[in-house]
Structure 1
Amino acid sequence: MEADLKLKLEQLHQRVDSLKDQINTEEGTKNAFVMPFIQILGYDIFNPTEVIPEFICDIGTKKGEKVDYVIKKNDEPILIIECKHWKENADAHNSQLHRYYHVSKARFGVLTNGHTYNFYADLEKPNIMDEKPFYTLDLANLKDSSLKILENFTKNGYNLESILDSAEALKYIKAIKNEFEKELDNPSDEMVKLLVGKFFDKPITAARLVTFKEYTKRALANSINESINFRLKNALSISETVPSKGSGETLPIDENIDLVKINTTEEEVEGSQIVKAILREELVASRIAFRDTQSYFGILFDDNNRKPLCRLHFNSSNKYIELFHNGKDSGEKKLLNSLEDIYLYKKELLQTVKSYSDIK
């Protein structure tokens, strides 16, 4: 179910990317992007007892107020959806959804611009929609953990208890994560004093606080980098050696280098494993090295930057594999419609291996 859901959402993302510049109205966004999303969840958009467009929500003295869509299951509203034009921020209009939620029996509300879907509940006060979403789905950044949550909103998988059980955790984990990222970028005085106070028993003067703030920032960055490298190397089954030059000498770790922005994704790991499987026809595993950067995921021969085997460019909506010939600095990029397309370039990958004449 999850794989099928992800494939359909990826196809919808491609549709949004290709058509958005031609969509000039909110109505166009609803028809071209939001209705297909509702269909992906398994609901029949042509069944007025299941998906009700322009549902009337009378709010106090205001009569005839309409919400864009109400989704029903067993004749009970389970989800209300308010849509905005794809150019608008999906976070900026929750006050209108807030009013609709108040008079609706649905436990969940969605605010969307066709490519970002913010899911709201009433975790703070019963029947009053929270100010912040507990779950956000971004079509441009689909994650397996995110899809597991979305499955609970599908027609066949709808599970109110399961959603409510996880909604509070999702909300507060997201809030904690945001605060943690702020601390990484600019540690607060409170964070610095908390950490330094564990080992430094002298008064922390203003001057020392400035110094310790810089030390804290670097320490947090280094700790995360080491954790990322450890997990990556375990996932890829590579040695624990630090990247080296062609001579085989070990390079020292530069603690001033900011690597926090490097994010190794599941797709990069999966793609690299496909490449590794192909290369194993000519190379032993120990001669296949991996190195992630902010702009690409590199696969090297003998962990030598001068001997790239290929690069995976997965940081945008379109994915590419960059192929190399004779170790040139820049290669030839090939578009990948799916990770399976990597197998189409088996011949080129093996030819690159053979082009390095010092293979033994």
Structure 2
Amino acid sequence: DLHQNHASQLYRYFSTTSARFCILTNGIVYEFYSDIDSPNKMDSKPFFEFNILDFEDHQINELKKFTKSAFSLEDILTTASTLKYTGAIKKILEQELEKPSEEFVRFFASRIYGGRLTQSVLEQFRQIVKKAREQFINEKINDRLKSALSTNEDKKEEISEVVETIGSSPKNDGIETTEEEIEAYNIIKAILRNVIDVKRVVMRDKKSYCGILLDDTNRKPICRLHFNRSRKYLGLIANKQEERVEIESLDDIFKYTDNLRAVIGEYSE
């Protein structure tokens, strides 16, 4: 088992070299560390973990970034912070949803219950929270299945005026910003970093797609992310019209660097 005391030797190595990444492994679990919290000081927790016996598809995409042909220090560091905190939040959510703590139960109960939160009331809400969790997960699974079945219908959609459709939308319960959308957003910012201040690049998520905009305005769409289906599509913008291209992995976004930079040029003219 990998424990904190095993990382102490790695911690010393990291502080005496110019390395930006280091790995602790037992041959099955690989923990990737960097200095996100404090420069030149190895973080106490890894920003990415990979288990060769138990992994998700999106973790493969993260691992590919460390291959020799794709390695980019800037690109990895751009997403490392998001990966680290996203992973930590997911672990907390997993623990709370499996065995809700009193603070977690109290958070929901205080928002919907007007009476005094006694111990018996909290215990009652603990069961309600568990039941709500099960129903929520089942509903999300059913939504995904329905979404997969309607993939062919979405392919036929032709967009003639992207400016009118990309941009902000009223907040609703159907919107869910995924980890892959956040990662793709960071990749696009890395691509545009040399041509524009990335603070001007904004992500606006909608129910059917995720829009990437310039200056946070729907009049300047950069691209669209269609990740809500079984296949992933990148919507490229040119002359205010969209062309969808299928991508197998998020790394494929780099193939369209020229397209993404070109659309920025259109708004500068």
Q: 1:165 aligns with which of 78, 89, 98?
A: 78
Letter in 2 for 1:138: N
1:1-360 alignment, distance < 5 Å: 88-89=1-2, 93-236=6-149
CA contact (8 A) 2:31 2:49 kept: yes
SS at match of 2:145: helix
Shift of 1:187: 1.3
- Measured in 1, the distance between the counterparts of 2:61 and 2:99 equals 33
Identity %: 42
CA-CA distance at 1:165 after TM superposition: 0.7
Q: What is the number of equivalent residue pairs in this alignment?
A: 151
CA change 1:131–1:104 in 2 (3 A) is same
1:277-324 deviations in whole A, cap 9, x for unaligned? xxxxxxxxxxxxxxxxxxxxxxxxxxxxxxxxxxxxxxxxxxxxxxxx
* TM-score, reference length from structure 1: 0.40
Aligned to 1:316: none
Structure 2 runs not aligned, ≥5 long: 151-269
Structure 1 residues 90 and 145, CA gap change in structure 2 (3 angstroms) = farther
One-letter code aligned to 2:123: V
If each structure's helix is expressed as a fraction of its own residues, which one has the higher value?
2
Deviations 1:106-127 (A, max 9, x none): 1000111222211000111111
Could you tell me how far apart the structure 1 residues matched to 2:28 and 2:4 are?
A: 12
| Residue matched to 1:335 | none
Superposition CA RMSD, Å: 1.9
Letter in 1 for 2:15: H
With normalisation by structure 2, the TM-score equals: 0.53
Alignment partners' CA distance in 1, 2:17 and 2:57: 31
**1:180 maps to amino acid:** L
Q: Which amino acid is the alignment partner of residue 88 of structure 2?
A: A
Paired residue type of 1:230: D
Bigger Cα Rg: 1
Bigger relative contact order, structure 1 or 2 (CA pairs below 8 A, ≥6 apart): 2
Q: Secondary structure at the match of 1:125?
A: coil
Cα displacement (A) at 1:92? 5.4
Does the CA-based 8 Å contact 1:184-1:221 persist in structure 2? no
Q: Once superposed, which parts of structure 1, at least 4 consecutive aligned residues long, lie more than 4 Å away?
A: none
Contact 1:90 1:112 in 2 (8 A): no
Shift in Å at residue 207 of structure 1? Answer: 0.9
Shift of the alpha carbon at 1:141? 2.4
Contact residue 109 and residue 122 of structure 2 kept, 8 A? no
For residue 230 of structure 2, what is the aligned residue in structure 1? none
Confirm or deny: 8 A CA contact 1:107 1:121 kept in the other structure.
yes
1:186 Cα deviation after fit:
1.6
Task: Please tell me the residue identity of whatever aligns with 1:147.
Answer: I
Aligned partners of 1:90 and 1:118 also within 8 Å: no
Distance 1:207 1:194 in 2: 16
C-alpha distance in structure 2 between counterparts of 1:156 and 1:90, whole Å? 32
Q: 1:116 touches 1:138 (CA, 8 Å); kept in 2?
A: yes
**Measured at CA, do residues 233 and 90 of structure 1 come closer, stay the same or move farther in structure 2, by a change above 3 Å?**
farther
Residues 266-287 of structure 1 show CA distances to partners (whole Å, capped at 9, x for unaligned) of xxxxxxxxxxxxxxxxxxxxxx
Q: 1:142 Cα shift?
A: 3.5
Aligned equivalents of 2:55 and 2:117: distance in 1?
A: 44
Contact preservation (8 Å) 1:90, 1:113: no
How far apart are residue 222 of structure 1 and its match? Answer: 1.4
Point out where structure 1 has 5 or more consecutive residues left out of the alignment: 1-87, 238-360
Q: What is the CA deviation profile of residues 135-167 of structure 1, one whole-angstrom value per residue up to 9, with x for unaligned ones?
A: 111111243211221222111111111111100
- The offset of 1:90, in angstroms, is 6.9
Asked whether the equivalents of residues 90 and 116 of structure 1 are also in contact (C-alpha less than 8 Å), the reply is no
Q: Which residue is equivalent to 2:257?
A: none
Matches of 1:173 and 1:187, distance apart in 2: 19
Match of 1:110, SS?
Answer: strand
1:195 is displaced (CA, Å) by 1.2
